[in-house]
Chain A
């Protein structure tokens, strides 16, 4: 047990009994001191927020200035479908009310603003930053700011489209412990930034690289080139998306069969989240954040994919050190 924290209160011990049995009292203490920021409150992020509020993080800050729409309601169980309670409140404000209720021991706050408007100092206030529903340049920028912070800020991106989802993890220079054969061993991992990971040439990947990785990059690039916001594509864009795929595959010397048209079609045609996939991805992400805060257990390095159509949840390591293999 580490000596840094004060003891858990009797109330905490009673409430968190079952999970302390999983990750230990010292991990629970670290959780209760951690500050988490999320940006973009769609279904997957809502699931994630529920998970870490239940786990007992110190504080959770939400950013999403949008007002409620049908689509937002469809996969978000934090917002009651009752226009009377909206009262001009933003999505973040509405979610905040529900989340506070889940665990009175966790402080939940709302911040306003666009992701790009926050500076390094702002991100430095958090131990974990999770962003969703934003462009690839916004993700890169936020990631860079987190990396410039005076202390380590764990950075994640998460996005779900149709029946599949992607998580990206940047823990920078990360040391942790894990149990192996009754012994605790210390481990050390070096993570690339989002930008560095994305610049690893495609031909360097192993043959079985998740097809979702390529598909997500193609759509991301398409949205960026067209000046669209994240998720703003439809079936009408398919032919242009397929054209872009061809170009990217040629530029990266990748056989086009690695990015099936049917997959792109699925992701472009239906950008709404599929609630069971939100639950799966939000659960895995919650677990990863708990690992990163507690410094216990093997974290994902550095991409995770889940697709309900084949049921596989795959970890892909996309970093320079891994490239030449």
Chain B
């Protein structure tokens, strides 16, 4: 290929985004390969669960900047090269197009879709090649994105975070993950989260007849109420009464197994209050995150699957501990996978619900993985992928266009291949990111506000960070660092319906939306439409002509996602600290009976013909399932 002394490598200036699982391996391999000017950005700090694969980090580094520690560690065996570290978010305005232009190639080792899209846009704007990567467990892939030559990162649809119809969560769970989502997003939030937040627990779990006011009171803890009594009241309400109520709707259970109401007296003896955790016993640990229902009940192994009775005890003990040890946080809590007590509560609640619906119970370890969207990660896959990134980066630097490949690392060989190279696709001509094709927005211009368009379309769907909106030459809105008097005008505009804006937006209007940081400009053709289907089109608007994320599950109803740290969270800061996410499923040989390489066997959408590169005459056409991002695959 190219030796370490080759000027192509030695003189290259390389930007790495991410110093996690792939990043550590990549920085090491780049340094060994002779790269001597490497810049690395990562906003994260080191955690214990990183140490099994992010080999540049030690126990003593926990809490420190990943980018900086990785730099220092590599300089120990390659002291003469230049590594510049940035403990920062790649979306910071400092990392603008001019910054990106300084580099010969950008290498991504990122953990979230949002940051990936952002870097893709900056690379397109700066006209710098991007080598993109991701791993999950034994699977991984490396792709090359060169403006005008290959497809950009956003030319192909990226799957949206998995969401579930509300009624599946509130009434008809059939998988353990449904119980987890219920426990985490509904019950936990209801009891410990912001009381002002909408919560479907009271909307759907009870009959429409009872007013929501009434139901709210049930979850309220009365000051004079014994905490154990309160816990049992909640228990009986959500696992007993609510199930009875649901059972009364015969229509629902025609083709389903009927759930079984569970009351606390059935699973716990009456003298339970006395034997269950002792108030005087557990005051040894008073700092928030170390409080644990498991330890106060003497249960140790997180791999054990608890009985219904054990789950019930954990649930009540966890609830009691929240109200006695962490009272101040109640009302402000949101689920955090590193919060032991929260994980215990959610595990127990999900298991009791699972028992009620005849779904197999799971251990705390497993439940934590599902609830926390924890990504499976091993060092070996990251090492392989990092090696492949460097090989691809060298081809890009040598401008060896015909040799560019996307490479998939498979768990089970396909046609004897464990590492499968595939020729990159050409740019998608209708991609709003890398071509200039406009998108179409159907919307009721007499009802929808500018704010709805900004939040639901421009930020959530088009992935812009700091948008500016123009109607012909009139500026309607601009985000970011602007003058105060303008802020007032724009804020006022946000609250106006489209047709009543200073320069009215109606059917036939073309809006121009621009993000200066991403140097992305996009035209939106507005089409007025009076009515929208509340169930199918809950946003009240429909965007077309863009690469629609492949929703993992049809959402006929309003939907609930499993957690706030989804891939399109507003900033990378809010995504989880785990690295290595975002794998595209490997290509799959046609008619191959073994489906094990394919994450979502039931999701055959977006199939694409791929061609395996071969030096032999007999080329084989393959079916590729490109939408199987496994990041949010939780079942």
- List residues of A whose CB falls within 8 A of some B CB: 1, 7-8, 13-23, 25, 43, 47, 50-51, 54-56, 74-75, 77-81, 101-104, 162-163, 179-181, 208, 270, 272, 274-280, 282-284, 286-287, 290, 297-298, 300, 304, 306, 308-316
Out of B25, B378, B412, name the residue touching A22 (CB < 8 Å).
B378
List the one stretch of B26-34, B434-442, B518-526 in contact with chain A: B26-34
B376 touches A311 (CB 8 A): no
Answer yes or no: B380 CB below 8 A from chain A CBs.
yes
Question: Which B residues touch A15, using CB under 8 A?
Answer: 48-49, 51-52
Question: Which A residues touch B595, using CB under 8 A?
Answer: 181
The chain A residue with its CB closest to the CB of B393 is A276
Question: Which A residues touch B413, using CB under 8 A?
Answer: 298, 315
Question: Which A residues touch B411, using CB under 8 A?
Answer: 297
Q: How far is the CB of A3 from chain B (nearest CB, A)?
A: 13
Answer yes or no: B374 CB below 8 A from chain A CBs.
yes
A81 touches B77 (CB 8 A): yes
Size bracket, chain B contacts:
35 or more
Q: Interface centre among A50, A80, A274, by most B CB within 10 Å? A: A274
Question: Which A residues touch B301, using CB under 8 A?
Answer: 7
Out of B49, B382, B418, B613, name the residue touching A284 (CB < 8 Å).
B418
Q: How far is the CB of A6 from chain B (nearest CB, A)?
A: 11
For the complex, give the distance between the alpha carbons of A213 and B374 in Å. 40
Question: Which A residues touch B105, using CB under 8 A?
Answer: none
Question: Which B residues touch A304, using CB under 8 A?
Answer: 418
A284 touches B53 (CB 8 A): no
A54 touches B1 (CB 8 A): no
For the complex, give the distance between the alpha carbons of A1 and B304 in Å. 11
For the complex, give the distance between the alpha carbons of A47 and B407 in Å. 20
For the complex, give the distance between the alpha carbons of A304 and B379 in Å. 20
B377 touches A276 (CB 8 A): no
B613 touches A311 (CB 8 A): yes
B391 touches A276 (CB 8 A): yes
For the complex, give the distance between the alpha carbons of A102 and B49 in Å. 14
For the complex, give the distance between the alpha carbons of A43 and B387 in Å. 13
The chain A residue with its CB closest to the CB of B381 is A283
For the complex, give the distance between the alpha carbons of A315 and B409 in Å. 13
The chain A residue with its CB closest to the CB of B392 is A311
Q: A17-B374, A275-B33 are in contact. List 11 more A-B contacts (CB 8 A).
A: A13-B365, A17-B52, A19-B376, A22-B138, A25-B365, A102-B55, A284-B418, A287-B378, A287-B384, A308-B391, A315-B418
Chain B, range 64-113, C-beta contacts under 8 Å to A:
74, 76-79
Question: Which A residues touch B74, using CB under 8 A?
Answer: 77
Chain B, range 144-174, C-beta contacts under 8 Å to A:
none
Answer yes or no: B318 CB below 8 A from chain A CBs.
no
The chain B residue with its CB closest to the CB of A288 is B380
B138 touches A43 (CB 8 A): no
Question: Which A residues touch B420, using CB under 8 A?
Answer: 312-313
Out of A1, A14, A208, A286, name the residue touching B616 (CB < 8 Å).
A208
Known: A290-B380, A311-B421. A18 touches B375 (CB 8 A): yes
Answer yes or no: B137 CB below 8 A from chain A CBs.
yes
The chain B residue with its CB closest to the CB of A12 is B52
B387 touches A279 (CB 8 A): yes
Question: Which B residues touch A290, using CB under 8 A?
Answer: 380
Out of B58, B390, B578, name the residue touching A275 (CB < 8 Å).
B390
Known: A77-B28, A181-B595, A276-B388. A313 touches B1 (CB 8 A): no
A163 touches B380 (CB 8 A): no
For the complex, give the distance between the alpha carbons of A101 and B247 in Å. 59
A283 touches B53 (CB 8 A): no
A80 touches B76 (CB 8 A): yes
Question: Which A residues touch B79, using CB under 8 A?
Answer: 81
Chain B, range 372-412, C-beta contacts under 8 Å to A:
374-384, 386-388, 390-391, 394, 405, 407, 409, 411-412
Question: Which B residues touch A80, using CB under 8 A?
Answer: 76-77
The chain A residue with its CB closest to the CB of B304 is A7
A278 touches B417 (CB 8 A): no
Known: A80-B76, A306-B419, A312-B419. A180 touches B1 (CB 8 A): no
Please list the 4 inter-chain residue pairs (A to B) with the smallest Cβ-Cβ separation, ordered nearest first: A313-B419, A279-B387, A311-B421, A283-B384
Known: A14-B48, A18-B578. A308 touches B77 (CB 8 A): no
B388 touches A19 (CB 8 A): no
Question: Which A residues touch B211, using CB under 8 A?
Answer: none
A47 touches B1 (CB 8 A): no
Known: A77-B77, A311-B419. A276 touches B33 (CB 8 A): yes
Q: Mark B4-46, 1 if CB is under 8 A from A, else 0.
A: 1000000000000000000001001101110000000000000
B53 touches A298 (CB 8 A): no
B421 touches A312 (CB 8 A): yes
Known: A13-B302, A279-B25. A18 touches B417 (CB 8 A): no
A277 touches B419 (CB 8 A): no
For the complex, give the distance between the alpha carbons of A313 and B420 in Å. 7
Out of A51, A279, A309, name the residue touching B1 (CB < 8 Å).
A309
A276 touches B390 (CB 8 A): yes
A22 touches B137 (CB 8 A): yes
Question: Which A residues touch B250, using CB under 8 A?
Answer: none
The chain A residue with its CB closest to the CB of B4 is A74
A18 touches B374 (CB 8 A): yes
Q: How far is the CB of B67 from chain A (nearest CB, A)?
A: 18
Out of B377, B384, B409, B594, name the residue touching A18 (CB < 8 Å).
B377
For the complex, give the distance between the alpha carbons of A56 and B384 in Å. 19
Known: A311-B407, A311-B421. A279 touches B52 (CB 8 A): no
Q: How far is the CB of B313 from chain A (nearest CB, A)?
A: 21
Answer yes or no: B615 CB below 8 A from chain A CBs.
yes
Q: How far is the CB of B607 from chain A (nearest CB, A)?
A: 21
Question: Which B residues touch A306, using CB under 8 A?
Answer: 419
Question: Which B residues touch A282, using CB under 8 A?
Answer: 383
Question: Which B residues touch A104, using CB under 8 A?
Answer: 59
Q: How far is the CB of A105 from chain B (nearest CB, A)?
A: 10
